[in-house]
Amino acid sequence: MNYIQNFNELKEFFSKFEDGNQHQRIFTTAGNKKVMVTVSDGMESVSKVWDVLVV
């Protein structure tokens, strides 16, 4: 399985990380963030986007 985490910290740009099924992230500014995770088995993939409020 391949896991890709995308973090929308600058509103229009996603920072992308490809690693295992766990990723730790510390947001340094408050506000609404989007987090997208894509999981692929090499044949098919599925993505999920979460809206996160950082306080």
pLDDT tens, residue by residue, 1-55: 677 777 765 444 556 666 677 777 778 889 888 888 888 888 898 888 888 898 9
Contact 52, 33 (CB under 8 A): yes
The single-letter code of the amino acid at 14 is F
3-state secondary structure of 33: strand
Q: What total number of domains does the chain contain?
A: 1
Q: CA 8: distance to chain centroid?
A: 8
The candidate with the shortest Cα–Cα distance to 19, out of 9, 5, 33, is: 5
Q: What pLDDT is recorded for position 17?
A: 66
Contact 47, 41 (CB under 8 A): no
**What is the spatial distance between Cα 19 and Cα 16, in angstroms, rounded to a whole number?**
10
Q: Which domain holds residue 26?
A: 2-54
